[in-house]
Chain A
Amino acid sequence: MTQIAPQDRKSRGFILLTHAVMIFFTIAMIGLAVDAGTMYVIKGRLSSAVDAAALAAGRSVNLASTVAAASAAATTTATQFFNANFPNGYLGTGTMNLSTPTFTQETDGNGNPNGILDIAVNASVPAPTYFMQIFGIKTVNVSGSGTATRRGTVMILVLDTSVSMNAGSPTACSQMVTAAQQFITNFSPYDTIGVVQFGYTASILYAPSTNFGNGTLNTLLGGLTCNDNTNTTSALWLAYEQIKSVGLPLAYNSVVLFTDGSPNGVSAQFPVRTQADTRYGPDVTIGASASCGSTTATCSVPVACTGAATQTVTGTISQTSGQPDQGSTDGPHLPINTDPAITYPASCNSALTSTLPGSNNRQLVAYIPDFDLYGNSTHGVPATSTPPNCPGATCGVANVTLKSTGATYYYDTRDFWRYQCNDVCPGATGSAATACSTDSTPGHQYEGGVWTSFPADLNSNFFTAGPYLGYLRPDQPTTIVAATMNTAMSEAYWIRADSSGCGGSGGNGTVCTTLYHPVINTIYLLGNAGDAADHEFLPIMSNTQQITALPYDSSFTPYTNPAYELHQESGLYQVTATPSQLTVLFSKLASEVLRLSH
């Protein structure tokens, strides 16, 4: 039998005793670990919940029109999303304390806002302890903070208030107003909205502001009237200036162009005519023959101004009656309502200039120069591909040689564009061409055409003889439309190129990194009047990848946008032939903008 040594006998129970002592510390340590682990779980859930609350708060600020209301909406939404992620009483937690979301505009290194809104949400909750209660600690306050960012929106609505918008009942003008009023309700007081309207002259209806929801803009839109022409290019330039003046490079900077037809006002420093010439009348003012009493005949006209050929007049000349070569034009008008008053060189015939603005401007203006007032080419934009109908009668892509420099460019151009018929109306001239414009046969209407379809006319947008040989004519309505389509596409190109990224001022210059990444969205109301744009015009402005069918096209195969710029922003191009659907189109645009910006 084994004997237990007296020394071992003294050790009997030591392990149990030691364990009894140790178990107290062991349980305490395990308890601490469990409590700490629980805290971590609660902390993790709380952090997740405040993150979600901050993001949701950022998205919800466009549910209200004022900062106070937006803040209230953000608080409600933040609470809602917080509760969805952190249920009341989660793991025995007490009453949650969720802060009101705070909104802070981010700034760049110089303290200037950059268009990003920071949304911060804080929350704290008392978390229960299980083992630490032994030491009198019943709860531990767990807190979390979440920050989200929201990309602001800077949007300039460019609204066509030309007289053609008065068609229909209710008028397209009133339906555009209703759609625009509804459209702005989609945005938040942390967004910036401005409105430019254009007829003969472009003007700011509402300077860009975050206060657009206070009712003022709504009232101004409600007071819009539609009563003259379509100076799209100046309006686009003005809109771009507004984007730059707001100066939020990280915001979603967008121009929304609404129009119901082709543009028809080209703005430039026009050389005055210092040489006798043969062109369309009227010329009743400065003493030409009686045959020049109308816009339908050409005749020799004496000089309008004496002196140097470098004299100019700055303004906008417009097409007014229809778009054939024989018709009325108007001007010069102010391109933008804040421009200096138009002055005429003293050397010009005062009997002529005293009748201006008016149709006689065609006798004063020598020709449409290669570049407009904003540096845009009056001949179009660089072509990046060749459409499937090239070469052919309706091809809009061609080599264009500038008269002023002799340089040749491969352009998507309307230099050879003629009226709104294409080759489905072969040989149409004069009244037949007019009839073509109102032809309701699908495929016969609202498509840009080319001169070759009208062999009996002068066959060119250019002077084909005389001292201004090779220059764009100012005396043909269709040429003014063609030149304006070119400048409008060019303006859109330069807006998207946004040369302000390298300190430039726009216009034809060095292309460099864009600062504002402007997006041009377009909405086209087709069929409201006879002066339609062609298939490519607005898609090119929006820089869509495809040229798609217009509503009247019975058979049309989409093709690649021949002026698509891979490195520029693409916008949404929408078209309808039904004015009552404008609200829906603006709504769709809002959906797109909100998806991209928030």
Chain B
Amino acid sequence: MLEFAIVTISLTLMFAGAFTIGAMLNKALQVSNVTRSAAVLMVTSVTNPKADLNLVLAQNQRILIREANGLGMASDAQYDPSSTGNGAIFLSKIILVGNNECAAGVTPIPTGVPPWTTSSCPNYNSYVFAYYVAIGNNTRWASAFGAPPSGDVQSDGTLSALNIATDTHAQVPTATIQASITLAQSQYALISETYADVSSVSVFSIFKPPVIYYRTIT
């Protein structure tokens, strides 16, 4: 009996650990898949307006929440995102403002332009949000790159050409973005980030896994 007890304890710990690690790996893979899917949807949404894929709308966000089934991000059986759930997805388009963005956003065109400068186009040569959508529990987590002023974000997640060119509050700190990627003028990066609290997979509290964070920069 004593031997059995000793063996059982060790086996239980071993299997509990294995289960926790395995389940966490499974969750991590799921989070990475959700993040990649979010990136793909964002590429479609941002580059093809005719796709009519507005990721601000709950019915389109359900595509991702359904894929995140089991991560605790749904608020109901319809897979609507929960603002108090166990995960959040952040979709951002960050662009380094150049001549084309200034031309698109600043009207009427100021005297002496071109060339553009920060006087005529305040965000010239700065990294700026051009799109931002937060899905899920965005009070517990925030994008690693920050967020534009909520008033700048339009009903489809985009920022207006005017705000991209002129609202300095929509800027992303250069050091923050360049820690990940450096862009050329008018080049942009589509960033998809997912946070997921997967502590529910833990058998014992000592095996409590960390919050999973996954990011793709497309």
Chain A residues engaging chain B, CB cutoff 8 angstroms? 13, 15-16, 19, 23, 26, 30, 33-34, 37-38, 40-41, 44-45, 47-48, 51-52, 55-56, 59-60, 63, 77, 80-81, 84-85, 186, 576, 578, 581, 583-585, 587-588, 590-592, 594-596, 598
Cα(A595)–Cα(B113), bound, Å: 23
B43 at the A/B interface (Cβ < 8 Å)? yes
CB neighbours of B11 from chain A (8 A): 19, 26
B57 within 8 A of A: no
A contact residues around B104 at 8 Å (CB):
587-588, 591-592
Determine whether the beta carbon of B21 is less than 8 Å from that of A37. Answer: yes
Of the residues B36, B39, B103, contact of A587 by C-beta under 8 Å: B103
Instruction: Note all chain A residues with C-beta closer than 8 A to B43.
Output: 55
Let me know if B217 and A584 touch, CB within 8 A: no
Interface residue B69 (Cβ < 8 Å from any Cβ of A): no
Partner of B218, one of A47, A56, A583, A588: A56
Bound CA span A592–B33, Å: 31
User: When chains A and B are docked, how far (Å) is the Cα of A590 from the Cα of B180?
Assistant: 27
**In terms of DSSP, what is the predominant structure of the interface of chain B?**
helix
> Min CB distance, B175 to chain A, in Å?
15
Given contacts A30-B18, A52-B217, A592-B104, is CB(A63)–CB(B184) below 8 Å? yes
Q: What is the minimal beta-carbon distance from B140 to any residue of chain A, in angstroms?
A: 24
| B126 contact set on A, CB distance < 8 A | none
- How many angstroms from the CA of A148 to the CA of B215 in the assembled complex? 19
- In the complex, the answer to whether B36 meets A33 with C-beta atoms within 8 Å is no
Other-chain residue from A41, A47, A592 in contact with B28 (beta carbon distance below 8 A): A41
Tell yes or no: B99 within 8 A of A by CB: yes
Given A55-B43, A584-B114: A84 and B217 interface contact (C-beta under 8 Å): yes
With A588-B103, A598-B47 as contacts: A40 and B25 at CB distance below 8 Å = yes
- Interface pair B3/A13, CB less than 8 Å apart: yes
Residue contact A48 to B216, C-beta cutoff 8 Å: yes
Closest CB in chain B relative to A56 CB, distance in Å:
7
With a CB–CB cut-off of 8 A, which chain A residues contact B35? 48
Please tell me if the beta carbons of A44 and B32 are within 8 angstroms of each other in the complex. yes
Judge whether A581 and B113 touch: CB under 8 Å. yes
B173 on the interface (CB 8 Å rule)?
A: no
Q: Which residues of B contact A47 (CB under 8 A)?
A: 36
Q: Is B14 an interface residue (CB 8 A)?
A: yes
Scan B45-61; emit 1 where CB is below 8 A from any A CB, else 0: 00111000000000000
A81 x B113 contact (CB < 8 A): no
Across-interface contacts of A576 in B (CB, < 8 A): 109
Please name 10 further chain A to chain B contacts, defined as beta carbons within 8 Å, in addition to the given A37-B21, A41-B28, A587-B114, sorted by A numbering: A44-B28, A45-B32, A51-B39, A51-B216, A59-B187, A84-B217, A186-B100, A583-B114, A587-B100, A588-B100
Chain A residues contacting B29 (CB-CB under 8 Å) are 40-41, 44
Contact A16 B103 (CB under 8 A): no
Q: Is the CB of A591 within 8 A of B186?
A: yes
Distance in Å: Cβ of A329 to nearest Cβ of chain B: 37
Contacts of B113 in A (CB 8 A): 581, 584
Beta-carbon contact of B217 and A85 below 8 Å: yes
Residues from chain A with a CB closer than 8 A to the CB of B10 are 19, 23
Of listed B47, B182, B215, residue having the most chain A CB within 10 A: B47
Q: Are B3 and A80 in contact (CB under 8 A)?
A: no
Distance between Cα atoms of A41 and B31 in the complex (Å): 11
> Contacts A52-B216, A55-B43: A594 and B28 contacting too (C-beta < 8 A)?
no
Task: Assess whether B181 is interfacial by the CB under 8 Å rule.
Answer: yes
Query: Are B33 and A44 interface neighbours, CB within 8 A?
Result: yes
Contact yes or no, A19 B7, CB < 8 A: yes
CB distance from A166 to the nearest CB of B (A): 22
Contact A85 B187 (CB under 8 A): no
A to B CB contacts below 8 Å, 18 in the list: A19-B7, A26-B11, A33-B18, A41-B32, A48-B36, A48-B216, A51-B36, A51-B39, A59-B187, A84-B181, A85-B217, A186-B100, A584-B102, A584-B109, A584-B114, A587-B104, A588-B100, A591-B100
Let me know if A55 and B109 touch, CB within 8 A. Answer: no
Counting from the closest, the 9 A-B pairs by CB-CB distance are A591-B100, A587-B103, A37-B25, A588-B103, A52-B218, A15-B3, A584-B103, A84-B181, A84-B217
A80 with B181, Cβ < 8 A, contacts A37-B22, A584-B103 known: yes
Chain B residue at smallest Cβ distance from A56 = B218
CB-CB under 8 A from B189, the residues of chain A are: 56, 81, 84
Quote the shortest CB–CB distance from B98 to chain A (angstroms): 9
Instruction: For B187, list chain A residues within 8 Å (CB).
Output: 59-60, 63, 77
Whether A596 and B109, one on each chain, are in contact in the complex, defined by CB atoms closer than 8 angstroms, is no
Q: Which residues of A contact B14 (CB under 8 A)?
A: 26, 30
B residues near A44, Cβ cutoff 8 Å: 28-29, 32-33
In the bound complex, how far is the Cα of B178 from the Cα of A80, in angstroms? 11
Nearest CB in chain A: distance from B35 CB, A: 7
- Complex-state Cα separation, A236 to B218, whole angstroms: 38
Taken together as a complex, chains A and B put the C-alpha atoms of A592 and B14 apart, in Å, by 58
CA–CA, A362 and B151, complex, Å:
61
A51 adjacent to B218 (CB under 8 Å): yes
Closest Cβ–Cβ distance, residue A273 to chain B (whole Å): 50
Closest to B24 in A: A37
- Known contacts A55-B218, A84-B181, A591-B186; A48 and B32 CB within 8 A of each other: yes
Q: Which of B3, B18, B102, B103 has the most CB of A within 10 A?
A: B103
A578 touching B36 in the complex, CB below 8 Å, given contacts A584-B103, A598-B47 = no
CA distance in complex: A40, B21 (Å): 13
Measured CA separation A51–B100 after assembly (Å): 27
Residues from chain B with Cβ under 8 Å of A585 in the complex = 103
B36/A581 in contact, CB under 8 A: no
Residues of B within 8 A of A590 (CB): 100
- Contact residues in A for B182 (Cβ distance below 8 Å): 80
Closest residue on chain B to residue A43 by CB atoms: B29
CA distance A38 to B4 in the complex (A): 32
Asked if A15 contacts B101 (CB within 8 A), the reply is: no
Interface residues as binary, B86-107 with A (CB distance below 8 Å gives 1, 0 otherwise)? 0000000000000111111000
Residues of A within 8 A of B48 (CB): 596
Q: Which of B1-21 contact A (CB under 8 A)?
A: 3-4, 6-7, 10-11, 14, 18, 21
- Nearest residue in A to B99 (C-beta to C-beta)? A587
**Contact residues in B for A19 (Cβ distance below 8 Å):** 3, 7, 10-11
CB distance from A578 to the nearest CB of B (A): 7
B119–chain A nearest beta-carbon distance, Å: 15
Q: Which residues of B contact A34 (CB under 8 A)?
A: 21
